[in-house]
Amino acid sequence: MQDWKLVEKAVELLLESLHLKGQGFEGTPGRVARMWKEFLDIELPNPTICKTNEEVDLVMFRNHTFWSFCPHHLLPVKYNLTVGYIPNKGMVLGASKPLRISNWITASLPLQEDLPGMICKEIEHSLNPAGTGCIVQGEHLCMRMRGVKSPCSDMITPLLKEGMRKEPWMSLFLFGTNYKGG
């Protein structure tokens, strides 16, 4: 369980140690603690599973933007997700669930390299699809504003699992390329 008063005190100490004070910083420790609480207090969604009336080859979601923080520097990372799965026996997830799953996972501040596998694993656990795949594109402020200072660089981490690897045309839908997977 998080100790939000301790988070607030830590921000006070940070501001004090950096000699940052004045009108603009009034209430900042409390605001920062509330921001972290809002970000981290996300529950895993209960999956809504439905049976389709018609056959479908692929269920795909594109352009879901969500945020996390780099676990190395605690700077923001803006992610864009494309995720898809092959329904098994016509069973599909409620439309918002794959997107809510990604929001829930990022509350643990994972490495981007781990996100595709974590997202696919959670969809597989909820639904048991015939295949899953996703691509995560990340804009890491730790790369853009410090270190290498590359203002336009993104990191891209694709993953195709199970039946997705057997169907090359699906990578065209998910990734826009003929990606073959690991």
Kindly list the domain boundaries of the chain, sorted by start residue. Answer: 4-40, 49-175
Tokens 């999956």 belong to 47
Q: Is the pLDDT of residue 182 over 70?
A: no
pLDDT tens, position by position, 147-160: 999 989 999 999 99
**Residues 27-81: tens digit of each pLDDT:** 999 999 999 999 999 888 888 999 999 888 889 998 999 999 999 999 999 999 9
Whether the CB-CB separation of 120 and 93 falls below 8 Å is answered with: no
pLDDT at 44: 86
**Quick one: angle between helices 115-127 and 97-106, nearest 10?**
130
Distance CA 128, CA 88 (A): 7
Note the pLDDT of residue 177.
52
| pLDDT band at residue 178 under the 50/70/90 scheme | very low
Q: Under CATH, which architecture does the 49-175 domain have? A: 2-Layer Sandwich (3.30)
Residue 134, pLDDT score: 92
Question: What percent of the chain has a predicted confidence (pLDDT) above 90?
Answer: 76
What percent of the chain shows pLDDT beyond 70?
93
Q: Per DSSP, which regions of 42-154 are E strands?
A: 49-51, 59-69, 76-86, 91-93, 131-140
How many beta carbons lie within 10 A of that of residue 32, not counting itself?
17
| pTM of full prediction above 0.85 | yes
